[in-house]
Each structure stands twice: as structure tokens, then as C-alpha cells.
Amino acid sequence: MAERLLDMIFDWECDMMTLVARRGYHGIHFADDWGTQDGLMISPALWRRLFKPRYRKQFAHARALGLEVWFHCCGNLTELVEDFHEIGVDVLNIAQPNVVDVPTVSARLQGKQCFLIPMSYQTVSISGTTERSSPRPSDCRAPGNLARRDSSATWRSTVAWECRQRTTVPAPRPSAASAPPRSVPMTPLAHLQADK
């Protein structure tokens, strides 16, 4: 029964992707939170059995439509980052870097995966100073060889990170109805807005 419900939800989302692709969108952004402050909401084995094959199918559908796949996840998803890479996530948004083992994630996926990692909104954005929030030359290399990129020295609500040696998001897979493949520059990756 639960698996049938999951199939219905994932199939409906695939139908929605088809509609947005027809409207000319370039990508799809998933916002499924799998982590808590300390780990995953369910065991990695259960996630891999129930959700991984469905996401794989869903991401393959997105790619067949020529859509880039961006995946947001709050909490500590360290145990699943390689799974998300394996099943086709183009940009992995690690939304709470303060609870993720960033050096381990970097060691596993250096040069393979594009990341979008915001400033910690549980620590720095609440109690940090403007100085602590602003990029500094020493921030150009974070632990584990993740590179911090920002277009200016002003405070940003979100900064883009990427694995060293990676300069572009992979071009979407062309379909018969899509435009020629393109390459998307990494900097800036998202809506980087200066504090006013």
C-alpha cells in the first residue's frame, strides 16, 4: 500500500515535470528534506529500498526532458550524498552545512558533484557578525577542498560552493523537442542577493 502511494506521488511529479519542460523551463528543483540535526529520518537501507529507485526514475525522466536536476535537503544527509550523485542530481543543495560532515562529503565527491551550500541560517545568520558573514580570502578554500564562490565582498544570504576542478553544471540531456545542449556557468549558482 505504501509503495503504491509512493508510485502515485512520484508519477504525478513526473507529469508535472513534463508540463514545465513544455513551458521552456531549464531545470527542476526538488525540496525533500531527509535529514535531522543528527542524521537521517529513516535508515539508509530503507531510503535506498523505497526512495532511491523512484528518484532514479524521476531524475532520468527530468534528464530525458532536458531538465537539470537540483535537489535541496535540510539536515544531515552525509550518508546519502553519493546516492544522490549516482542517480543523477546535477546540483545538490546542502541546506544546513553546520550539521553535515562537509570534509567527508568533499572527499567522496571532489570534482564530481556540484553543490549549493548556504551560509548556516542556524548559526551565522542568527548570531554572526557582518564580518563573519562576509567572504574573506581565507574562505576561498573550505575544509575538504570545497571552493567558496561569491561575486563580491558584501554579505550574501546564500553563497555558492563547488567542488574544486569543476567549472560548469553538466549540460541537460537533449531530447527530440529540446534546444541544443548548453553549459551553465557555476558562478553565481543561485539567487545571490546583497543585503540592503
Q: What's the pLDDT at 191?
A: 35
Query: Any bridge partners for residue 185, and if so which?
Result: 168
Q: What's the pLDDT at 188?
A: 34
3-state secondary structure of 123: coil
* Residue 160 pLDDT greater than 90, yes or no: no
Lowest-confidence segment of 41-45, 54-58, 80-84, 129-133 by average pLDDT: 129-133
Query: Any bridge partners for residue 54, and if so which?
Result: none
Q: What would the pLDDT profile of 77-136 be if each residue is shown by its tens digit?
A: 999 999 999 999 999 998 888 889 888 998 899 889 998 887 777 777 677 666 655 544
Grid cell listed for 15: 507529469
Domain boundaries along the sequence of the chain = 27-54+71-167
Interatomic CA distance for residues 110 and 148, integer angstroms: 13
Which residue blocks in the chain are alpha helix, DSSP H?
2-22, 44-50, 52-64, 81-86, 102-109, 124-127, 130-133
- pTM here? 0.68
Q: Could you tell me if 92 and 115 are in contact, meaning their C-beta atoms sit under 8 angstroms apart?
A: yes
